[in-house]
Amino acid sequence: MSDNATGDGTRDFVEEDRAPMGMTVRVFIYLVAVHFIVAFFFLLFYLGGARE
């Protein structure tokens, strides 16, 4: 059986399938912040190890 009434094999868009917009924005901000922190640590280790 199909998930929708048309029977074309595609699913109807259900609003409940999407994450809330606030959570989406928070996840995006967390991902960007984590990448900036990792880049900062990488820069610190790169500059700290440059003296040989």
Query: Is residue 2 situated within a structural domain?
Result: no
Query: Is residue 4 situated within a structural domain?
Result: no
6 pLDDT tier (thresholds 50, 70, 90): low
Each residue's pLDDT tens digit, 11-40: 777 777 777 889 999 999 999 999 999 999
Query: Is residue 1 situated within a structural domain?
Result: no
For 29, the domain range is 19-48
**How many angstroms separate the CA atoms of 10 and 2, rounded?**
8
Number of domain units in the chain: 1
Residue 42 has pLDDT above 70, yes or no: yes
| Residue 50 main-chain phi, psi, to 5 deg | -75, -20
Query: Is residue 11 situated within a structural domain?
Result: no
pLDDT of residue 12: 73
> CA 15, 19, 20, 21: dihedral to nearest 10 degrees?
-100
